[in-house]
Structure 1
Amino acid sequence: MDISIVIPLYNEDESLPELCAWIESVMQREALTYEVILVDDGSTDNSWEVIRAIGAKNPFFKGIKFQRNYGKSAALNEGFKAASGDVVITMDADMQDSPDEVPELRRMILEEGYDMVSGWKKKRYDNTLTKNIPSKLFNAVARSSSGIQLHDFNCGLKAYRNKVVKCIEVYGEMHRYIPILAKWSGFKKIGEKVVEHR
């Protein structure tokens, strides 16, 4: 299989139909074999019902349901275990990540030899005081302590060789440090791509 897209989510019933239709369109346009693994992290809205309805129409969309909210790291970890694609993509379910970025992220893994590529939302539309400043501080500390030159460690949009996600275990708040976990596991070719923040 060419690609697995892992999407952790919590209470995203409104965005899921549009996001999944967009992903399906991109995968068909690129003629890729794929699976989309939607990990419902204990949603209290109708997210699970929406996932089931999408999966009934398209068997390439699969759901994993948590009975309660365990957090993004646990959701990613379960998605990683289930992923069988040669390249694994992670993205958020809130429509801030564009599925149109997926083919280029995949190309960087396969053709440029990266083990992992992290998105960089260079131009953000968040409130500067509440999002941008803490994010810049976190990224500066993470760069300094790890030696990995990424601008946006916490970007949800990332691409990995499958063997990378099978070698790392993500728990607690460790999803913020996945590039560092990958480096510690021996995957040193970590790249970055400027991506759109919607």
Structure 2
Amino acid sequence: MSPESGGRRISARSQIVLFCGLVVLWCLLWGQFTVLSVVSGVVLAVVISLLFYLPAIDLSGRINIWHTAVFLVRLLVDIARASLDVAWLVIDPRYKPSSAILAIALDTRSDLIMTWTAEAISLVPGSIVVDVDRQESVLYVHVINVADDDGLEDFRASVFATEKRLVMAIGSVDDVWRVNQPNELTRSVRRGRN
């Protein structure tokens, strides 16, 4: 099989997944899975697919149920803990605002993992992704309540941990290999570039 035909198969598979995702999203927006909502969703997905460019996403084809559950539970715990922290900052009269924007170079090269990592980070109160560099896999994250370098490194480590949990849940074999490498030297070099 030539690389070109393999690339076409990956592209066709990802386009089918995106197409089905659009139909499901349409039905969820209407709150019902009826013949009319599915048919109108298919028509809308065809129109969107023809009018707008949908990037090919290389899906890994693997889902690890255990790691997916670990990711979801940890995300809920992070959201609850951060919500309490932010609520405390609001009522604490001694709080002096301190925030930063960090450039965090991820280990993954997958657009899907990078997007889901950005979404997971932004769901947690107190941090939000303000920009993304797709070419370099860098997230620019605004984070509140960081007073020193240790706080910045703790937040950076939490982003890497989120990325690793996502990769272990749904990432490709290549991404699993990347996040399991001792990358402290690589990360410090990449941090120096940004």
Q: Shorter-chain TM-score: which interval?
A: 0.3 to 0.5
Q: Greater share of strand residues, 1 or 2?
A: 1
Q: Looking at CA atoms only, which structure, 1 or 2, has the larger radius of gyration?
A: 2
Q: TM-score, normalised by structure 1?
A: 0.33
Q: Greater share of helix residues, 1 or 2?
A: 2
